[in-house]
Amino acid sequence: MAPLLILRDIHLTFGGHPLLSGADLSVSEGERLCLVGRNGSGKSTLLKIAAGLVQADSGDRDLKRGISIRYLPQEPDLTGFATTLAYVEAGLGPHDDPYRARYLLEQLGLTGAENPAHLSGGETRRAALARTLAPEPDVLLLDEPTNHLDLPLIEWLETTLKESRSAQVLISHDRRFLTNLSRTTIWLDRGQTRRLDQGFGAFEAWRDEVLEQEELAGHKIDRKIAREEDWVRYGVSGRRKRNQKRLADLQTLKRNRREERRSLGSVAMPETTTEMSAKLVVEAKGIAKSYGDRAIVTDFSLRVMRGDRIGIVGPNGAGKTTLLNLLNGSLAPDQGTVRQGANLETVTLDQSRDSLDPMTTLQDALTGGHGDHVSVNGASRHVVGYMRDFLFEPNQARVRVSVLSGGERGRLMLARALAKPSNVLVLDEPTNDLDLETLELLQETLADYPGTVLLVSHDRDFLDRVVDRLIAYDGPGKWTVYAGGYSDMIAQRGHGVEARTVEKAAPVKEAKESSKEPSRAPTKGKLSFKEAHALKTLPARIKALEAEIAMLKTKLAEPDLFARDPKKFAATASALEAAEASLSAAEDEWLAVEMRREELEG
């Protein structure tokens, strides 16, 4: 199949340093690629070159005639638009469906009436997603599309992209998102790209194998020049091997949790030392918390024992941080009691990076401005050695915090928090802006940590790898404890985190009321906008799915397909199953809406 978009031998120097040195990218019809690499490796820049927004120093960019491209930047700019609806509609072409702009805004929790000047980071990201997806282009270039999204929206976006016929290039730090969507992986490393014709699920093992082969063959960067960079790259492989036993131990612990029926208090524990917390870390009994008429927590009880790893999940606004603060004692409940164990030394890492002085240097942020040594759990270490543990290079010691990337600031916050003596870690969204290597480092650190961990996260893969119990939002004020990680929770209750039900304001009237209809708020006597849109678009979707199913069945009917290519046979069978499920869902939805229409028309 002829590629829609090709980048060949792309070179770009940024700030006097080569960023891209021979990078390639090829995107064919219907492909779903993920672009991976360390923070600062040039992923976003390569995507901008693909979008035609940045000019390379040299190399070729070929775009097939008549192909449409839409690009989602990390930092969207809504300046100059009166409403989010106006912003999204401005991205539509003359032949695009104007109803799709409203539909996507509604799906993403926006009305279209919002003033862009007053949007939060998450609302800005959602408006930009609607603008990017609305035209249904031939090629989608998405840079960190899950940033600021909660779990229900991340899973909605996954479903939407799976159903899309657009070719896709994805950059994301969400490993589960990449695993679920990608079919091809492009690794950007030291300015060049390598292609793996498998999804992200196969990437980490392949990357480690490539690095080990390089190391054995002696194909390394000059050790005198890039010793620390090599340590960061090649150290990942060794850490991953050590982590295999830890991951196996975690799985065993999860199984034990599910099978455990005796009282937690009867479990034999080592004798407490002065550095350890008591066996019982937190005991919450019948706690409740409300703000005005809104219940955040109602009648919730939990015992947290020494060494537990407990995650909290829920949609944005459900009260995850409030529940975390109730458990760590920083917020008092309206009802019930929270008893803290003895000898607790708690270190908290919140979502905000505001506690970092932008004018201080990285070294001073770690040492408190006192010399070149940092106290780590009571032991003195040279700051450069400790920086290296968190993937910083020695020459960054004097760099000001203001010039660090979001991921680097996240790493710095982690380094500061983990240096303090503690036996309880409270982490609120610790994975925000972290690249894959830093996520692995954090997992390793938490696996080695002898104390108790309470964390809030939207990262499903991280939760599966780290926690042994999960507290999940189950409706207004209701929280339920599940054994295991996020996947275990789905296995136990049959679904992931669902969106929080809230009262929504009526959608805005369009800006030019004199020439357009008023906004389509649902009324008792007619279909809602979403229903009308479904009634209009579902027949074409059903027809397309029927054609896709017929094509897949023809492929599976090839007599020698399984013998010739078992992987292709399995992938085709899986695609057929998914298409048939989508067809069934689309037919059910059309029938329900059609019956609703007939009912309204009497």
Assigned CATH topology for domain 3-216: Rossmann fold (3.40.50)
- Tell me which amino acid residue 234 is: Y
Q: How far apart are the first and last CA of the chain?
A: 51
Q: What does residue 147 show for φ and ψ, rounded to 5 degrees?
A: -55, 130
DSSP letter at 497? P
**Does residue 514 surpass a pLDDT of 50?**
no
Q: Pairing state of beta strands 479-483 and 379-382?
A: unpaired
- What are the structural domain ranges in the chain? 3-216, 276-493, 529-600
With cut-offs at 50, 70 and 90, classify the pLDDT of residue 509: very low
pLDDT at 535: 78
- The mean per-residue pLDDT over the stretch 546-567 comes to 79
Q: Which of 1-15, 394-408, 477-491 has the lowest mean pLDDT?
A: 394-408
pLDDT attached to residue 146: 92
pLDDT band at 404 (very low <50, low <70, confident <90, very high): confident
Q: Average pLDDT in the 551-576 region?
A: 78
**Digit-coded pLDDT (tens) for 361-379:** 999 988 888 888 888 767 7
DSSP state letter for 393: -
Selected residue with higher pLDDT from 589 and 146: 146
Least Cα distance to 62 among 25, 29, 30 occurs for: 25
Same fold, 3-216 and 529-600: no
Whether pLDDT at 408 is above 90:
no
Spatial separation of the C-alpha atoms in residues 44 and 556, rounded to whole Å: 39
Which of 115-124, 239-248, 366-375, 530-539 has the least mean pLDDT? 239-248
Residue located via tokens 């909605």: 156
In whole angstroms, what is the distance from residue 367 CA to residue 51 CA? 42
Q: Tokens 């020698």 correspond to what residue?
A: 560
Task: Label residue 158 by pLDDT band (50, 70, 90).
Answer: very high
- Residue, of 238 and 359, whose pLDDT is higher: 359
Q: Give the Cα-Cα-Cα angle 127, 504, 109 (nearest 5 degrees).
A: 25
Give the residue-averaged pLDDT of 416-433.
85
Per-residue pLDDT tens digits for 184-233 = 999 999 899 999 999 999 998 999 888 888 777 764 444 444 444 444 44
The pLDDT, as a whole number, for residue 447 is 83
CA 433, 437, 439, 445 dihedral sign is negative
- The domain 529-600: what is its CATH number? 1.10.287
CA 457 to each of CA 113, 187, 222, 428, 551: distance values in angstroms, whole numbers, following the listed order: 30, 26, 39, 7, 41
Which two three-digit tokens encode residue 356?
């970092």
Give this prediction's pTM: 0.70
Rounded Cα gap, residues 536 and 16, in angstroms: 54
Map tokens 């680097």 to a residue: 408
Write out pLDDT tens, residues 248-291: 555 555 555 444 433 333 222 223 233 566 789 999 999 999 98
Q: Give the pLDDT score at 83.
A: 95
If one compares 93 and 506, the residue with the highest pLDDT of the two is 93
Kindly give the pairing relationship between strand 17-28 and strand 3-14: antiparallel
The listed CATH number (3.30.950.10, 3.40.50.300, 3.10.20.90, 3.40.50.1370) that belongs to domain 276-493: 3.40.50.300
